[in-house]
Amino acid sequence: MTLKLSRVDLWTASIDDRAGGAADRLEPLSKAGANFEFVFSRRTPEQPGTGMLFVTPVKGAKVIQAAQAAGFAKPHNIHSVRIEGANKPGVTAMVARALANGGISFRSLSASGIGGKFVGYVALDTAEDAAKAVSLLKKLS
């Protein structure tokens, strides 16, 4: 199996946990020309009434400026790896097992398969873990 691996900057913003909370943060970036490959939001049960929004990529001066104005930032404690490959049965389990066998505990793993292709994102705590994840996953190729 051939995997395309890359480190990516994940941008995050706090959102209000209400109808339109995510849209309010995303629209300014859209108007600036953002073209996201990954968007994920979730409630933050430890902070009732709020949620978190994660996006990538944030590219170009206008989009970066809009992101910062909308409350987005690149967190220093989340390091992400993008994984792309053929959509085959068990591919996500193989990724998770490779990371586990390498002693990596990740913050999150998300993946989607469409047709013959899958794309996944792994969020890790340190730059060292992200580099190690890339090295481990290259061995699957």
16 SS3 class: strand
Instruction: Establish whether domains 11-69 and 77-138 are of one fold.
Output: yes
pTM: 0.90
State the architecture of 77-138 in CATH terms. 2-Layer Sandwich (3.30)
CA distance 132 to 126: 10
pLDDT computed for residue 96 by the predictor: 96
Distances in Å between the Cα of 43 and the Cα atoms of 4, 28, 134 are 31, 21, 29
Weakly modelled stretches of the chain, pLDDT under 50: none
State the architecture of 11-69 in CATH terms. 2-Layer Sandwich (3.30)
Omega of the bond leading into 57 within 30 degrees of 0 (cis): yes
Amino acid at 85: G
Omega of the bond leading into 89 within 30 degrees of 0 (cis): no
CA distance 96 to 65: 35
Q: Where are the domains of the chain?
A: 11-69, 77-138
